[in-house]
Amino acid sequence: MGKITFVEHDGTAHQVELVDGESLMALATGSGVPGIDGDCGGEASCGTCHIIVDEEWIQTTGRRSEEESAMVEMSPECVPNSRLACQLRATEGLDGLTVRLPEFQM
Protein backbone atom coordinates (compact mmCIF):
# COMPACT_ATOMS: atom_id res chain seq x y z
CA MET A 1 0.00 0.00 0.00
CA GLY A 2 1.14 3.54 -0.65
CA LYS A 3 0.20 7.13 -0.06
CA ILE A 4 -1.24 9.96 -2.11
CA THR A 5 -0.91 13.55 -0.91
CA PHE A 6 -3.56 16.20 -1.48
CA VAL A 7 -2.29 19.72 -0.88
CA GLU A 8 -4.93 22.35 -0.19
CA HIS A 9 -4.57 25.75 -1.79
CA ASP A 10 -3.26 27.20 1.48
CA GLY A 11 -0.51 24.57 1.62
CA THR A 12 -2.10 22.18 4.11
CA ALA A 13 -1.14 18.66 3.08
CA HIS A 14 -3.29 15.56 3.60
CA GLN A 15 -1.79 12.11 3.17
CA VAL A 16 -4.32 9.53 2.15
CA GLU A 17 -3.91 5.76 2.09
CA LEU A 18 -3.87 4.51 -1.48
CA VAL A 19 -6.53 1.90 -2.24
CA ASP A 20 -5.90 0.13 -5.52
CA GLY A 21 -8.72 0.70 -8.02
CA GLU A 22 -10.47 3.49 -6.12
CA SER A 23 -10.84 6.91 -7.69
CA LEU A 24 -8.83 9.73 -6.17
CA MET A 25 -12.11 11.56 -5.55
CA ALA A 26 -13.43 8.63 -3.50
CA LEU A 27 -10.14 8.40 -1.58
CA ALA A 28 -10.23 12.12 -0.78
CA THR A 29 -13.88 12.33 0.22
CA GLY A 30 -13.59 9.06 2.15
CA SER A 31 -10.72 10.56 4.16
CA GLY A 32 -12.39 13.92 4.65
CA VAL A 33 -9.92 15.95 2.60
CA PRO A 34 -11.46 19.44 2.58
CA GLY A 35 -11.95 21.02 -0.80
CA ILE A 36 -13.03 17.93 -2.74
CA ASP A 37 -16.81 17.84 -3.06
CA GLY A 38 -17.60 15.21 -5.69
CA ASP A 39 -21.18 16.40 -6.07
CA CYS A 40 -22.02 14.18 -9.06
CA GLY A 41 -20.72 11.07 -7.36
CA GLY A 42 -17.90 10.38 -9.81
CA GLU A 43 -19.44 10.81 -13.26
CA ALA A 44 -17.21 13.63 -14.49
CA SER A 45 -20.31 15.77 -14.69
CA CYS A 46 -19.99 18.41 -11.98
CA GLY A 47 -16.35 19.50 -11.86
CA THR A 48 -16.15 19.71 -8.06
CA CYS A 49 -13.18 17.35 -7.61
CA HIS A 50 -10.74 19.47 -9.59
CA ILE A 51 -7.09 18.63 -8.82
CA ILE A 52 -3.81 19.75 -10.33
CA VAL A 53 -1.21 17.04 -10.88
CA ASP A 54 2.45 17.91 -10.23
CA GLU A 55 4.44 18.18 -13.44
CA GLU A 56 6.75 15.26 -12.66
CA TRP A 57 3.73 12.97 -12.27
CA ILE A 58 1.76 13.93 -15.33
CA GLN A 59 3.45 11.29 -17.49
CA THR A 60 2.33 8.61 -15.05
CA THR A 61 -1.23 9.84 -14.49
CA GLY A 62 -1.83 10.96 -18.03
CA ARG A 63 -3.70 14.08 -19.06
CA ARG A 64 -7.40 14.73 -18.81
CA SER A 65 -9.88 13.29 -21.29
CA GLU A 66 -12.23 15.38 -23.40
CA GLU A 67 -15.03 14.51 -21.01
CA GLU A 68 -13.05 15.91 -18.09
CA SER A 69 -12.07 18.96 -20.10
CA ALA A 70 -15.71 19.81 -20.75
CA MET A 71 -16.22 20.27 -17.02
CA VAL A 72 -12.91 21.42 -15.62
CA GLU A 73 -12.16 23.98 -18.30
CA MET A 74 -15.11 26.04 -17.09
CA SER A 75 -13.18 26.75 -13.89
CA PRO A 76 -11.15 29.96 -13.96
CA GLU A 77 -8.43 28.03 -12.14
CA CYS A 78 -8.02 25.39 -14.84
CA VAL A 79 -4.38 24.78 -15.86
CA PRO A 80 -2.82 22.29 -18.31
CA ASN A 81 -2.34 19.67 -15.58
CA SER A 82 -5.87 19.98 -14.21
CA ARG A 83 -7.78 16.71 -13.83
CA LEU A 84 -10.97 15.53 -12.24
CA ALA A 85 -10.05 13.32 -9.29
CA CYS A 86 -13.02 11.06 -9.99
CA GLN A 87 -11.50 10.07 -13.32
CA LEU A 88 -8.12 9.10 -11.93
CA ARG A 89 -7.89 5.54 -10.58
CA ALA A 90 -5.40 4.81 -7.85
CA THR A 91 -2.81 2.15 -8.72
CA GLU A 92 0.34 1.15 -6.90
CA GLY A 93 2.29 3.07 -9.50
CA LEU A 94 0.79 6.27 -8.04
CA ASP A 95 2.41 5.71 -4.64
CA GLY A 96 3.92 9.04 -3.60
CA LEU A 97 1.77 11.11 -5.99
CA THR A 98 1.15 14.70 -4.92
CA VAL A 99 -1.78 16.69 -6.26
CA ARG A 100 -2.73 20.26 -5.49
CA LEU A 101 -6.24 21.60 -5.04
CA PRO A 102 -7.45 24.80 -6.65
CA GLU A 103 -8.53 27.63 -4.37
CA PHE A 104 -12.16 26.85 -5.05
CA GLN A 105 -14.27 24.09 -6.55
CA MET A 106 -17.08 25.25 -8.78
Partner 1 sequence: MTTTSNVLDRAKTIVTDKVQATIPVDRQVQAAHAVKKAKRRAGLETPLAFTEAPIPNPADVPLAEIDVSNPFMNRQGKWYPYFARLREEAPVHYLADSPFGPFWSITRYEDIQAVDSNPEVFSAEPYIVLGTPPMPAEMFIAMDPPKHDVQRKSVQSVVAPRNLKEMEGLIRERVQEVLDGLPTDEPFDWVERVSIEITGRMLATLLDYPYERRRELTRWSDAMGGSAEATGGTTHLDDLFTAGVELARSFTALWHDKAARRAAGEPDGFDLITLMQTSEDTKDLIKKPMEFIGNLALLIIGGNDTTRNSMTGGVFALNQYPDQFEKLKADPSLIPNMVSEIIRWQTPLAYMRRVAKEDVHFGGQFIRKGDVVVMWYASGNRDESKFENADALIIDRKNARNHMSFGFGVHRCMGNRLAEMQLRILWEELLERFDRIDVVGEPTYVQSNFVKGYEKMMVQLTPKAGVRHPGVHTTAETSAV
Of 26, 29, 1, 31, the C-alpha closest to 16 is: 31
Q: Does 93 bind partner 1 (CB under 8 A)?
A: no
Q: Does 46 bind partner 1 (CB under 8 A)?
A: yes
Nearest distance in Å: CB 63, partner 1: 18
Choice from 15, 17, 34, 41 touching partner 1 (CB under 8 A): 41
User: Considering beta carbons, is residue 96 or 104 the nearer one to partner 1?
Assistant: 104
Say which amino acid occupies 19: V
The alpha carbon of residue 52 and the mean position of all alpha carbons in its chain are separated, in whole angstroms, by: 7
User: Considering beta carbons, is residue 17 or 103 the nearer one to partner 1?
Assistant: 103
Contact 99, 6 (CB under 8 A): yes
The alpha carbon of residue 50 and the mean position of all alpha carbons in its chain are separated, in whole angstroms, by: 6
Give the residues lining the site for partner 1 (CB under 8 A): 37-41, 43-47, 70-71, 73-74, 76, 103-104, 106
